[in-house]
Amino acid sequence: MRNTVKIIIFVIFFFIIGVFYISLTRETNYNTSSLINKEVPQFKIAYFDKNGFYTKQDLIKNNYTLINFWASWCGPCRIEHPILMKLSAENNLKILGINFKDKKELAGKFLKDLGNPYSFLLKDIEGKQSVSFGIYGIPESLLINNENIIIKKFVGPLSLDNYKEIKEMIN
Amino acid sequence: MLSNLGNSILFISAFLSISIIYLANKNLKTSNNLIVKNIYQLSLIQSTLIIVCFFTLIAAFVVSDFSLVTVYQNSHSMKPVFYKIAGTWGNHEGSLLLWVIILTIFSFLFLIYNKDHPKKFRLLTLIIQNILILGFLFFILFNSNPFSSLSPTPSEGLGLNPILQDPALAIHPPLLYIGFVGSSIYFSAAMASLIVNYSEKSFSSSIKNWVLISWCFQTLGILVGSVWAYYELGWGGFWFWDPVENASLLPWFAMTALLHSLIVFEKRNLFYFWVIILCLITFILSVTGTFLVRSGILNSVHTFASDPTRGVYILLFLSLMIFSSIYLLFKKYKKENYNLNQNSKETFILINNWFMMFYLITVLLGTIYPIFTDALTDNKISVGPPFYNAIIFPIVVIFLLFMAVGPKVKWIKNRFEDIKVYFLILAGSIILNILILVFIKSYSILSNFIIISALFLIISSLKDGVSAIQKNRIDLARIISHASFGFLVLFIGLNHIFSIERDYNIKVGETKNFENYSIKLEKLDLKDFPNYKAVIGTLEINNNFSSEKNILKPEIRIYDNPKTLTYEASIKTNLLKDYYLTMSNIDRSDYYNIKFQKKPLMIWIWISVVMIVIGGFLRLFKNAKYS
């Protein structure tokens, strides 16, 4: 009896330490192709320049949402910016920008110079929140319907073809 | 230069630890009951050197020596001197040095203050403590070295996170470290006691003051952290069940249980193994907390920049500690027969320990469960306040009742002679609660129970105090701590019940009305300060009922180094209530979002905790006087 108790106690501690070790060494799986037709993960991200948070529940209010991950230091983001500006004119679509690992003043200057296409702008200074969306580089964009399902994922800068594709999908 | 000096001292200290272990081991084999002088000397030199080493690092922060990576990453030449100094322990590497200081000082003091105890026990405690010191010195030297140098030397540092530039936060880590790093000494003593079979009553006198010291400081550390969160984080709360807050609470539960079971051990020579287990888990929980905070597997306001190799090292260290303590405990464990009478002080203290273990397990599960689900099932979940509130608060009611009755129960066997008095006190508490209900505001059934049980504890403790004064046998320490704990629960309860919170978008000149209050945003000023700019709002809050008028000035601060926006709450405190106001800007509009909170009796929550600690210190002084 006493030996069983001892073994159980040892096993419990081994288990706990094992799990701690797994948590340390774990790499989040970045394969994102499986995201399509899946629901958006739960998230709560701080606004870029005001108090408060934008959450998954806020997404439902939009017909379609394009979540765009960007940063002022990212060259390709500059390239896709005119496409985002064009998309911002669409009535059926709201663009949610997530500013990724960026400096606030530089991001602000970027938008001042090139225009602000975003209906909502959030910040992910450490880049940790974006990981739960399966983002491994920027720019990336996710097109989401009003049931919070990811219907398309764009890796790299949006092109004119992507623009047409998005326009077709939302209308 | 400072880099070389610091590194040399660290290496010498490690060498001293090895020498102490060697000499102590050699001294173990001699037959007389004297510890050789060399060991005292080396131990004193070691503590002194580590303190010098820490001052070297402080000097590097003060003169902004950016050739050190730690200084470059956590300081800035424009920072006020006070925060330059506080920055020394506001980062991972520097704070580890503080760890080692406490380990060495406690090691030395334990050695010189326990001369009445067996030599073997003292030497083994010293050896185990020095193994811990060595472990941390290696960690510092080879993984987290505060004296790592940087070439070429940068001209300017990256700065300290502005929310950490706060007086409360400057003293929070040292207090907390004295608490949980201090528990290392009774971890070592417990291991030594197991090895040499030193299980007599007198073992308790070797550790009880150390338990008290660490408990007092741990409590103060938790308090200061809460105060900081309340004033600085701008959420208006003071406890968030954040995993890292929980990490400081876990050893506290174990210490509190230990503090009480030591009383039984000292008086009745019971619960020896239970005392040992509590000594071991207190420090194990402290290191577990350190692992959770430093390894980066948790996300929290406290997490230091994460680095997995750090986590692996601490985990390895933790595993060694856990398995060697379990191994030793199993090897030495003998079944103890407790012949406890149900109505005896022993039983009541045991019940206190069950409660503490219940809280400990609840909070531990809530803290590590998300890590488990994430690692094992890929599910990210978070355990928040609803879980803790639902499990902890109903149990508090019963806990408070036991806490009121327990101290009056006699050792070995008790006849409840004053049961009538308790019924009277209970009736009195219920009547007081009804008065609050009728004259102020009604609240939930659970809140009723909490208020009643808190009042019951307060009145019983005060009654004990009065009758003890009459008999001239007053145990002031216990009465103050217990009554203050009752007050703490009472004030938290009332604060929760009577808080008001309102959110508005408001522009200059506008007034908002609610309940008896009106709030007007009178003006906005832009001011320049040495290391930040601030938008300062002036808001007038009128209580139309009492025609009391208050001006609050919340700020939006724009810091330069690093460039950060912070929202400073404006808080007006008086004896009855706090007004708490935060303000934030709304993009592209002239409206500001304000959040107004009225928090009754806030200051009394802090005072209650301070009083609990004063009780602890009184007991410590009393112990010191009698020994």
ipTM: 0.77
Which of B163, B567, B587 to mutate to test binding with chain A, by most A CBs within 10 Å of its CB?
A: B587
**Which residue from A19, A20, A42 is facing B291, i.e. has the nearest CB?**
A20
CATH of the domain at A157: 3.40.30.10
Chain A residues close to B380, C-beta within 8 Å: 41-42, 132
DSSP-assigned letters across all residues of B46-91: HHHHHHHHHHHHHHHHHTT-TTBHHHHHH--TTS-HHHHHHGGGSS
d(CA B13, CA B96) in angstroms, rounded, equals 14
C-beta separation of A152 from A143 below 8 A: yes
In a domain? residue A125: yes
Q: Where are the domains of chain B?
A: 1-165, 501-603
Contact criterion met (CB < 8 Å) for B563 and A103:
yes
User: Tokens 């287990």 — which residue?
Assistant: B277
Q: Which of A131, A165, A161 is nearest to A151 (CA)?
A: A165
In a domain? residue A102: yes
Q: Dihedrals φ, ψ of B552, to 5°? A: -120, 140
Residue spans of chain B under pLDDT 70: 160-163, 234-236, 299-308, 380, 414-417, 561-563, 587-589, 627
Residue B152: cis peptide before it, omega within 30 degrees of 0: yes
C-beta separation of B301 from B244 below 8 A: yes
Q: Which of B69, B53, B43, B40 is nearest to B11 (CA)?
A: B53
Chain A residues close to B330, C-beta within 8 Å: 6
For the cut 50, the answer to whether the pLDDT of residue A30 exceeds it is: no
d(CA A163, CA B529) in angstroms, rounded, equals 47
CA angle B17, B20, B24 (to 5 degrees): 145
Which of A28, A51, A53, A124 to mutate to test binding with chain B, by most B CBs within 10 Å of its CB?
A: A51
C-beta separation of B165 from B199 below 8 A: no
Is A112 near chain B, with CB under 8 Å? no
Q: Compare A144 and A74 and report the one with higher pLDDT.
A: A144
Chain B residues close to A23, C-beta within 8 Å: 297, 371, 374-375
Torsion from C-alpha of B261, B267, B270, B274, nearest 10 degrees: 20
For the cut 90, the answer to whether the pLDDT of residue A136 exceeds it is: no
d(CA B55, CA B6) in angstroms, rounded, equals 9
Give how far the C-alpha of residue A171 lies from the chain's centroid of Cα atoms, to the nearest Å: 24
The pLDDT of residue B344 is 83
Q: Which of B222, B242, B330, B325 is nearest to B281 (CA)?
A: B325
Q: What is each CA distance from A69 to A121, A155, A167, B16, in whole angstroms?
A: 10, 10, 19, 54
User: Containing domain of residue A55, as a range?
Assistant: 32-170
Could you tell me the maximum CA-CA distance found in chain B, to the nearest angstrom? 86
Confidence of residue A73 (pLDDT cuts 50, 70, 90): confident
Is A22 near chain B, with CB under 8 Å? yes
**Which residue from A26, A50, A132 is facing B584, i.e. has the nearest CB?**
A50
**Which residue from A23, A51, A121 is facing B375, i.e. has the nearest CB?**
A23
d(CA B275, CA A168) in angstroms, rounded, equals 72
d(CA B272, CA B257) in angstroms, rounded, equals 13
The pLDDT of residue B587 is 62
Is B365 near chain A, with CB under 8 Å? no
Could you tell me the maximum CA-CA distance found in chain A, to the nearest angstrom? 75
For the cut 50, the answer to whether the pLDDT of residue A28 exceeds it is: no
**Which residue from A10, A50, A128 is facing B326, i.e. has the nearest CB?**
A10
A102-118 confidence digits (pLDDT tens): 778 888 888 888 889 99
Confidence of residue A29 (pLDDT cuts 50, 70, 90): very low
Contact criterion met (CB < 8 Å) for A24 and B330:
no
C-beta separation of B257 from B361 below 8 A: no
d(CA B472, CA B113) in angstroms, rounded, equals 31
Contact criterion met (CB < 8 Å) for A17 and B319:
yes
Q: Which of B85, B8, B110, B22 is nearest to B50 (CA)?
A: B8
d(CA B100, CA B519) in angstroms, rounded, equals 51
In a domain? residue A36: yes
For the cut 80, the answer to whether the pLDDT of residue A148 exceeds it is: yes
Looking at the complex, report in whole angstroms how far the Cα of residue B608 sits from the nearest Cα belonging to chain A: 33
**Which residue from A23, A51, A105 is facing B297, i.e. has the nearest CB?**
A23
At A167, list the tokens: 């326009």
CA-CA-CA-CA torsion sign (B529, B535, B537, B538): positive
Q: Are strands B532-543 and B548-552 parallel, antiparallel or unpaired?
A: antiparallel
Residues 123-162 of A with CB under 8 A from B: 128, 132
Contact criterion met (CB < 8 Å) for B368 and A23:
no
Number of domains in chain A: 1
Which of A17, A19, A20 to mutate to test binding with chain B, by most B CBs within 10 Å of its CB?
A: A20
CA-CA-CA-CA torsion sign (B93, B94, B98, B104): positive
The pLDDT of residue B83 is 87
